[in-house]
Amino acid sequence: MSFKSPLEGIDEKFEMIQILNEDGEIVNEDAMPDLSDDDLVELMRRMVYTRVLDQRSIALNRQGRLGFYAPTAGQEASQLGTHFALEKEDFVLPAYRDVPQLIWHGLPLYQAFLFSRGHFHGNQMPEDVNALSPQIIIGAQITQTAGVALGLKRRGKKNVAITYTGDGGASQGDFYEGINFAGAYQAPAILLCKITNLLYQYLLRNSQLLKRLHKKQPVQEFLGFSRWNGCFSRLSSY
């Protein structure tokens, strides 16, 4: 049995989605989101707030005044830009590095700190916040997102469930199980796979690894977009 033929032609299925180039110039007017100047200012405000929060959280962690904390510097655009498109009723299922999205989704800041310190109240989401606590197990949030998304669909909701991961999570069995489940049931799940610049440069030097990452989407039969610009890749299932 040949495993080569099912993979042939996969590279041609990947559509390059780009709105801004590396110099910040618009290269796709049709794909430009309808954002007002106030929206852009608010997005910048949220990114600066999140960067300062990250810096202070790291300082508190080094002082022993904060427990588990995963730095977020450099990921603000992918985290907050995608969250900005969500509605209040959408569900956020974060990984351990995605506390900023929880905060902007409505989790009080003090509870985010309690979560980091291991206090049970940090895991108690307010009734009006559709989210789960950050998942510490790498990749486990993907199967949870598929389940929440299917629940939304069966209840006739028009909302989505969103989660985030990186190359490590995309190498876990939960990754394939989750996207296969979401694809099979056409669940309204969104998975964002963020690739850091260091990893991206490594993958460029090892092009076969880059191709393998790209091939994870079509095998699972869900709508996907791969975007490589030294920052992150997005794979989404609707």
Tokens describing residue 52:
């300062």
What is the residue-level pLDDT of the chain in tens, covering all 238 positions? 555 555 566 556 666 678 888 788 889 999 888 899 999 999 999 999 999 999 999 999 999 999 889 999 988 988 999 999 999 999 999 999 999 999 999 999 999 999 999 999 999 999 999 999 999 999 999 999 999 999 999 999 999 999 999 878 888 889 889 988 998 999 999 998 876 555 444 444 544 445 555 555 544 445 554 443 333 333 333 3
* Helical axes 197-205 vs 207-214, angle rounded to 10°: 110
Asked if residue 18 belongs to a domain, the reply is: no
What total of structural domains would you count in the chain? 1
Q: Which domain holds residue 74?
A: 34-236
Asked if residue 157 belongs to a domain, the reply is: yes
Contact assessment for residue 109 and residue 103, using Cβ atoms and an 8 Å cutoff = yes
CA distance 47 to 43: 6
CA distance 127 to 83: 19
C-alpha dist (Å) from residue 196 to 74, 120, 146: 8, 32, 24
Asked if residue 21 belongs to a domain, the reply is: no
**CATH code of the domain covering residue 113:** 3.40.50.970
pTM: 0.80
Asked if residue 2 belongs to a domain, the reply is: no
Asked if residue 23 belongs to a domain, the reply is: no
Asked if residue 14 belongs to a domain, the reply is: no
Asked if residue 162 belongs to a domain, the reply is: yes
Asked if residue 29 belongs to a domain, the reply is: no
